A and B are shown apart, each in its own frame.
Chain A
Amino acid sequence: AQSVTQLGSHVSVSEGALVLLRCNYSSSVPPYLFWYVQYPNQGLQLLLKYTTGATLVKGINGFEAEFKKSETSFHLTKPSAHMSDAAEYFCAVSLTGGGNKLTFGTGTQLKVEL
């Protein structure tokens, strides 16, 4: 079984500031990890994913995330926030081996202020 926790349901940053969205997971076996973004009244779009290999993963729109096994974390970062980054972000986890459930966190709403 697996689970994912996103710390902070709402995060607010200034434009140009660092974005840090936190995600911790629990998993009995090596996980696959995902970050999705959702703009209002739209579906989810994949930002990035970790399956195997390099633990620092780069995604679209300047986002990246680092898989830290020792900390069971997969935090999402972006060096400089832009107004267009305002959206809801979901972390998700599944187990390696295929055929397994993808479990989503409850989401973090990112607000970007001038």
Chain B
Amino acid sequence: DGGITQSPKYLFRKEGQNVTLSCEQNLNHDAMYWYRQDPGQGLRLIYYSQIVNDFQKGDIAEGYSVSREKKESFPLTVTSAQKNPTAFYLCASSQQRGDEQFFGPGTRLTVL
């Protein structure tokens, strides 16, 4: 079954710690994305990647970092520099940028 997996589903972090969210896809898509979702604010783009070893900042990249070493993987690190990291994080992929995006189930991060 093709799709996108995100792990873990729920994540708790202490203030000052970095944490990495996993995103894997087996759809053979070139483009991958990370979004942050807060109540009433829709989806905000954090980072995106259109090809392996290349990625660009989205609208709210400060305090986040990514890597794209393999086509199927696009992990997101939430660093201690992110001032308000508690949110629902969604990973998505598409054949190319602008196409229909397929979403993973999300990771809910809570900073204690």
Contacts and interface: CB of A to CB of B under 8 A. Distances in A.
Name A's interface SS: loop
A102 B101 contact: yes
Contacts of B100: 34, 46, 49
B105 to A, nearest CB: 5
Interface residues of B, number: 24
B18 interface: no
Contacts of A95: 98
B25 interface: no
Contact of B42 (A42, A45, A105): A105
Interface in B27-64: 40-43, 45, 50
Interface of B: 4, 6, 40-43, 45, 50, 88, 90, 92, 94, 96-106, 108
